[in-house]
Structure 1
Amino acid sequence: MMPADNHTVFDPVTYILNGIPGTEESHFWIAIPFCFMYVVTLFGNSLLLFIILTERSLHEPMYLFVSMLATVDLLLSTTTVPKMLAIFWFRAGEISFAACLTQMFFIHVSFIAESAILLAMAFDRYVAICDPLRYTAVLTKSVIGKMGLAVVTRSFCFIFPLIFLVKQLKFCRTNRLPHAYCEYMAIARLSCDDITVNVWYGVAMAIIVIGLDVVLIALSYGFILRAVFRLPSKDARLKALRTCSSHLCVILMFYVPSFFSYFAHQFGHIIPGYILNLLANLYVLIPPMLNPIMYGVTTKEILKRVINVC
């Protein structure tokens, strides 16, 4: 549904997702590596979940957190990639307003949940290295269950208001979104209302949620490194650091692209729009694909079971 002119207020029944504007001629070919990454994501995370859930010896805190991460990665990629492929291959960019809001909700819930899980994993490594004698007493299955519930509750409570903030907006410009999926600020910018509240809510959420998580993760690793370098032998230090290697790689893959994307949008006049758009698409593809590979390759217990299954 298109408005008659730029000043006509209308209720968007549907949106049109344009994929990556400026690369329409290449959409078919861009979708091929995207499809490959999605298949690897589905296979890798499903296999990881299957191994952790069926192998009783892996029902330990670290692996239970890894299974939570795999679940969130599956949710994020499945929420976005099938529609993305439909746009690129079949030009099926039409999406209902309700479906767009639903997709937006699950994308942002996944992002907030993944940040919280990475924080929980940092706490797990902190207890394992800094207070190993109390590890099993502190991180019981009951505590892990409560942490999982807290992750879901926090994500829901911060993201649910976005639905109301978007539904209250009046739209008078266009229903075409220059993206391959429905992103909160991309929808808000189509409004003819003042979106100051929407912008500041997004900024506050980034600072309070993501910023706080990053600070707490950094503090955890500060204490971990202090404890590691106090260990008497070099072998003990290397062993302790190896237990953190996969988690550190996943942290870098999650936060570095998000900070880069934020600053890239701040200086968007320097970077072409299609590059920013492509990076936004890769951000929902690459971390969910690489996370299970990281844990499968760097964790001996998981790698051994993967080899047995395959």
Structure 2
Amino acid sequence: MRVRTRVMSAVTASCALLALSGCASDMTKQASPYANAAGAKTVTLSVQSWVGAQADVAVAEYLLKNELGYRVDRVQIDEVPAWDALSQGRVDAILEDWGHPDQEQRYIKDKKTIVPGGDVGVTGHIGWYVPTYFAKKHPDVTNWKNLNKYAKDFRTSESGSKGQLMDGSPSYVTNDKALVKNLGLDYEVVFAGSEAAQITQIEQFAKHKKPFLTYWYKPQWLFKKVPMTEVKLPEYKEGCDADPVKIKCAYPHTPLQKYFNADFAKKGGDAAEFLKNFKWSEEDQNEVSLMIADKKMSPEDAAKAWVADHEQKWRGWLPK
């Protein structure tokens, strides 16, 4: 992704925003020395690079520390390398995954080194979006069949003679290059490089009321600042994305999942039970994300503020 403002202070060394093609083997070595340490009341959490996942970890960390007395160590790592680290016990939990069938097959079904940790409580959806101010003037732009008609409006210096479809990090889950090709669209996929860079570009476009077409996802706090309307792609049907090369359909709606190292799930005590119980809404996540990304609060301060206002909810996550 789905993603996914980088406001973090990781305790351990991190290899931020890894490309899928590099650093993966190094990242699995750069993990907490406390992960799975015998007798250590420490939990090591994987932190994905988008702010929604950072919000998950911020609140979980705050409660683990202040209600359950754990030390919490965080490792920032990209989506696929996180599965390797989790399998090896170098991190204990991933709190937000947007769906990786190959990794699930390898580590859950085959190796049995990772176990599902339950729903986050949030449904994620990746899609293509245009600013609502443009969609109101040109309603037919919200159907993919009409995108070529507007390609000239979405041109940038990076896309040349074609329209620009802006993506975030190359490490996110994306079918966009195949979709552009297979749907015969006169567009060039241009990567901003990160969620933060993509947000900056979207805000700049919006400030000057310029048209843009972007890969984006829900839940995401930016919709409150820059209203965007989704472009309808060919309907998603089960299995339509099985072959990444031939894909011609929309992204699915994905209930976001947690995953635990198998040993941690068995021996993690109160921490494992708490993280299994952790489940909140899109509104909850966006509230914390907005504080971190837009109000520039530290993750800890944002979590503290949310915890102070939602005791009835998080009390139910604590071990009985």
TM over 0.5: no
- TM-score normalized by the length of structure 2: 0.26
Greater C-alpha radius of gyration: 1
- TM-score normalized by the length of structure 1: 0.26
Normalized per residue, the structure richer in helix is 1
